[in-house]
Amino acid sequence: MAAPLASKAGSAGTASKPPFPELDFRSGARVEELNKLIQEFTKHDQREYDDQRALEIHTAKDFIFSMLGMVQKLDQKLPVANEYLLLSGGVREGVVDIDLDELNVYARGTDYDMDFTLLVPALKLHDRNQPVTLDMRHSALCHSWLSLRLFDEGTISKWKDCCTIVDHINGATNYFFSPTKVADWFYDSISIVLSEIQKKPQRGMPKVEKVEKNGTIISIILGVGSSRMLYDIVPVVSFKGWPAVAQSWLMENHFWDGKITEEEVISGFYLVPACSYKGKKDNEWRLSFARSEVQLKKCISSSLMQAYQACKAIIIKLLSRPKAISPYHLRSMMLWACDRLPANYLAQEDYAAHFLLGLIDDLQHCLVNKMCPNYFIPQCNMLEHLSEETVMLHARKLSSVRSDPTEHLRTAIEHVKAANRLTLELQRRGSTTSIPSPQSDGGDTNQPDDRLAKKLQQLVTENPGKSISVFINPDDVTRPHFRIDDKFF
């Protein structure tokens, strides 16, 4: 009888003690402290915009859309009624799957304050009701060539100079749409338009601080009032429907089942100008599911998104040399985790620390095994081309993060705070210059339209990363009509 009594006494004594703080087994870090650090990072990383900043964002966006309308007028190559996809975050932030090794390094705070990615269709195939079959005979998985034989003679004639030409034995000529030639044409056209615009500057017009071609992407940094905005403009091919190569993915169970409709998820996809490791740069495009990812993001809990953003901030600098891991890899791993783990677990508001540690573990696992499946085309391994030396180097770097996540989080917080201080300093220097509302006649520049400002602030703060479709009338480029998901503004 003594043993049970001792057991009872021991359990009673244990119950009287305060609960032991939850610790991370690997690092010994306190989970509560990690959660607080993630919250602090989120606070500094996601800033609120006042009315003036909202107007500056709108003015920059208006300028970019008007510029693209003028590009369309140059040689009528771009579709007349075009539909863009505007994403918050630049290409370097992993919003689309494009190789980062060809991109110049830009830093928030030093080079820009806010960044966006704009997908601009050069060609559209929007009348397909069947699964879209692409010419993948010459390409690695997730990539394709695009023959203009899918289009009419007028389209072939317009874009012939942006194609590589293949003559067949039977005498027929095939024109393959070239991502590198399209990017060259796009950069040249944007440069011509910007040169013309700058010859006749208008009051309140953004200042073009930088225009650079980064591989197949055109990066523009605009100064508007006290803000600097980076736009990564990506020429793409736009499709309605779903590619046949990803058809089997739809047959599986997914975390978004029952939360959004399949029609929302498979409404369209893109070809972006990026080739595989051994692909032919002049011919090969990469499949992009950016439109679908915008929809899936609605189903991801805020705590998991906070952990993802914090993890991205840690790895984006740590794993930058050599270029092997991009934030898009981490995004794919997060989507796989959503499929793998119970929804009620991922919805826990105070589990951000667990999610951060899990993402680091997942990334290290992918590196050690040199395996990161594309979420939509799982048979495509996005790390297949890396050398053993590279993956082990990055795995060891991640091991140091996993051993002391608290310190690495503090470093990420200091970086984002430093970027914000730089932004505020530049704002103070430029606070004497105020831009007029885009709708004003240039009269009283200090009285912006409050209703417009409130609406714009609401759009910016409530719709991060959402799909913004823009319909441009090239005969009236001053009035873009844009839609955020299913709402029109």
Cα(168)–Cα(21) distance, rounded to whole angstroms?
A: 71
What confidence score (pLDDT) does residue 182 get?
98
Q: Cα 488 from chain centroid?
A: 22
Stretches where the chain sits below pLDDT 70 are 1-18, 48-49, 127-130, 168-171, 430-489
Question: How would DSSP label each residue in 417-446?
Answer: HHHHHHHHHHHHHTTT--PPPTTS-SS-TT
For the stretch 317-367, pLDDT in tens is 888 777 788 999 999 999 999 999 999 999 999 999 999 999 999 999 999
8 A C-beta contact, residue 361 and residue 337: no
Cα(129)–Cα(113) distance, rounded to whole angstroms?
A: 41
Q: Which CATH number applies to 33-417?
A: 3.30.460.90
Reference 352, options 308, 410, 414, 299; nearest CA is: 308
For the stretch 247-284, pLDDT in tens is 999 999 999 999 999 999 998 999 999 999 889 999 99
The chain-wide mean pLDDT, for the chain, equals: 84
8 A C-beta contact, residue 27 and residue 406: yes
What confidence score (pLDDT) does residue 432 get?
35
What confidence score (pLDDT) does residue 430 get?
63
Tell me, letter by letter, the H, E, C secondary structure of 373-410: ECCCCCCCECCCCCCHHHHHHHHHHHHHHHHCHHHHHH
What confidence score (pLDDT) does residue 465 get?
52
Residue where the block lists tokens 């085309």: 377
Residues ≥6 apart with Cβ < 8 Å to 302: 349
What confidence score (pLDDT) does residue 453 get?
46
What confidence score (pLDDT) does residue 166 get?
83
Tell me, letter by letter, the H, E, C secondary structure of 228-284: EEEEEEEEEEEEECCEHHHHHHHHCCCCCECCECHHHHCCEEEEECCCCCCCCCCCC
Instruction: Identify the helix (H) or strand (E) that includes residue 379.
Output: none
What confidence score (pLDDT) does residue 408 get?
96
Residues ≥6 apart with Cβ < 8 Å to 464: 46, 88
What confidence score (pLDDT) does residue 137 get?
86
